[in-house]
Chains A and B, each alone.
Chain A
Amino acid sequence: VRRPARRGAAVLAALLLAACGTPAPPSRPVTLVFEHSHVFGPRDPLPDLVRRFEAAHPGVAVVSEELPANTDDAHQLYVINLEGRTAGFDVMMLDVIWIPEFARAGWLLDLSGAVPPEELGAHFPAAVAPATWGGRVWALPWTMNTGVLYYRADLLAKYGLPPPATWQALADDVRRIRAGERDPRLDGYLWQGKQYEGMMVNVAEALWGAGTELLGPDGRVFPDPARAAEALAWQRSLLTGGVSPAWVTAADEELTRRAFGDGHAIFLRNWPYALDLFERPGSPVRGRVGIAPLPGRTPATAGIGATGGSHLAVSARTRHPEAAVALARFLTGEAAQRAMTGAFYPTRRLLYHDPALIREHPALPALYRLMLAARPRPITPSYLLVSSALQPDVSAVLVGLRAPDRALADARRRVDYFLASRR
């Protein structure tokens, strides 16, 4: 009876030790802790890049720490550690929407002196803008993302249709193809309507498509309420008109990516990462997927995707600012971004014209145009506050519980209350 108990205790002790002890720090004078999320895909280029950096910087060791996979959890981890002033990390991977918030809080090292302006000029403007909030450099662009319209090239060709440039064309295409295919399992247009940040990305894109935006120059939400209501009404009409299936109101990126990847949809809004998965051997839609700019209310307002992606910043409390800045610059540099292309899409524009890379990733030229036209979500330290405060009302519009104009008015009032306490 005793022995299992003792064995259990030994296992517990071993687990505790494993949990407490990060691998023994290398005996180098400078150890940098690098927070980043897990790199999915067939091969992770990061360990190799880190080794190259260490080889070029004798005396500097880099310890990688993985962030939680869920972006909300990662944000929470940063907020707790940075607010608790216990931050045990030097270089941090940041979601593009957190940069102004963390910079405003004084958690990031000002890189303005260390990074020459022309170095930033090599990246897409939509990635640089959030990183240079308030006229200072807070982070270096690392990976790039933007909203893409995926379409079933085989189906569109069958009916002689070009990729739709307008909302109306998209809805018409869906009706025409579904009427012709007579496949009850074939859905029209998939996007992300679950109540979370991904929904707000879709809303931001709809607002640009309607010729307005989420946050006006004066910092107020929905500067053009009439057009904003029009954008939300369009998203709602996709569901009521059968262009999108009802379950879109519970869908995130992966749910929609799988459904489209299984061949059950004609159109999909998603990030570029889905492309490689669609073209994987054995994929039901392999060789049958095209990418295009997102449609707009009119052709003039079409083609604006929201940017995602990540940046590298240096903690304001680092004890090794020089080495940390060097690591961030190395990893966001051209050689490192070239090595990472495939696992991620680069923020450096030049790489999209590189013949060797294009041979490996034929979509790069098409993605280049989309990323050049892409826009960041509102660049403000209060972005997450605004987004969190708006999500319930926006979701209520999408599921048809509330009319767009009423919901928008309520949302505006609530955001104003919270923003007032920040002045």
Chain B
Amino acid sequence: MTRPPRPLTPRQRADRRRAWVLAAPALAMLALLTVYPGLWVLWLSLHDRIPTFGIDRFVGLRHYAFLAGDARFLEAGRTTLVFAAASVALELVLGVAVAAALARQRRGRRLAFSLLLLAWAMPAVVTAKIFEWLYHPAAGLVNFVLGTRLNWLGDPRLALPAVILADVWRTMPFVAVLAYARLLGIPPELYEAARVDGAGALATFTRVTLPLLRRVRLIALLFRTLDALRAFDVMFVLTGGGPANATETLTLYAYRAIFQMAQFGFGSAVGVIVFALVMLAAWAYLRLLPSDEAAA
């Protein structure tokens, strides 16, 4: 794949210089708003910093050592991974299904599209509040429709699935819109050709549509996974991390440590681990992405 380096013409060199100059403001912004705070949090995580007690001392990796054996942290890590895996998988499947249905729909497409976007446009806190009422054990729509009296948010086994469903409802449209846009770009000739070859609806979907959506799926997967690994707002409003910490994610734990317990150093250490987790996922996906450039 690697091309032998070719000597640059003076013009190309000038272009490169100009490119750097033009990119400089954006890079400076990025450095100021992302790299600097990121390094600061890393530095903070090596300290015991408790502003309310005037404590600020270097403790090295002590917080990380404590976290390695902290049951609450390990539980939050597990919850984060389960949440991310389940919600992203559901979003992807439902999003592609909805996009395919939408593309086939003849009438009311605009209305369906708007309704879809409504869920995505709603602030997470509003969504969570709506779901709080939907899940209400006595007066909630969910129990009414199912004919049950399940304690959705108060039962440690049901709370995480309930939170995942709320998140899927909110973010599935993002995947659907991406996939829908790609579907519109598929030339009709491909489908005609499939029909001529005698492919049924299912075969067309699995052999034509799905492969062509591969790239979009990977991009959606990347965005949604990174988001889900940092999940905070839905559980913050719906359950506060409970019951019995069944819905506490790493970000929520970091938030509690910093803003409620005022353990800035300790909370930063949790934040750094979330950051590392997100970077790891991003790196893994980006390695997957360019390899299928030809497919899309």
Contacts and interface: CB of A to CB of B under 8 A. Distances in A.
B263 interface: yes
Interface stretch (B28-36, B151-159, B268-276): B151-159
B97 interface: no
A104 interface: yes
A388 interface: yes
A193 B55 CA distance: 34
A104 B72 contact: no
B54 A249 contact: no
A185 B261 CA distance: 40
A105 B54 CA distance: 7
Nearest to A414: B72
Contact of A417 (B55, B66, B242): B66
A79 B51 CA distance: 9
Of A250, A387, A389, the most chain B CB neighbours within 10 A belong to A250
Interface residues of A, number: 46
B52 A250 contact: no
B154 A248 contact: yes
A329 to B, nearest CB: 26
A405 interface: no
Looking at B52, B55, B137, the one whose CB has the most chain A CB atoms below 10 A away is B52
A247 B51 CA distance: 38
Contact of A195 (B71, B155, B239): B239
Contacts of A72: 259-260
Contacts of B161: none
A245 B260 contact: no
Contacts of B245: 195, 392, 395-396
Interface string B54-79: 11000000000010000110000000
A104 B53 contact: yes
A263 B62 CA distance: 54
B259 A79 contact: yes
Nearest to B152: A250
Interface in A57-106: 72, 75-76, 79-80, 83, 101-102, 104-106
Judged by DSSP, the binding face of A is helix
A391 interface: yes
Contacts of A79: 51, 259, 262
Contacts of A106: 54
B243 A398 contact: yes
A250 B248 contact: no
B242 A105 contact: no
A392 B72 contact: yes
B138 A259 contact: yes
B137 A395 contact: no
B140 to A, nearest CB: 10
B146 interface: no
Interface in A268-326: none
Interface string A366-386: 000000000000000100110
A381 to B, nearest CB: 6
A251 interface: yes
B53 A245 contact: no
A401 interface: yes
Contacts of A410: 71
Interface string A219-255: 0000000000000000000000000011111110001
13 contacts: A105-B54, A195-B244, A248-B154, A250-B137, A250-B152, A250-B243, A381-B53, A392-B248, A401-B156, A410-B71, A418-B261, A421-B263, A422-B53
Interface of B: 48, 50-55, 66, 71-72, 136-138, 151-156, 159, 239-245, 248, 256-257, 259-263
Interface of A: 72, 75-76, 79-80, 83, 101-102, 104-106, 185, 193-196, 245-251, 255, 259, 264, 381, 384-385, 387-389, 391-392, 395-396, 398-399, 401-402, 410, 414, 417-418, 421-422
* In the A-B complex, the 4 residue pairs with the closest CB atoms: A195-B242, A250-B154, A249-B154, A396-B244
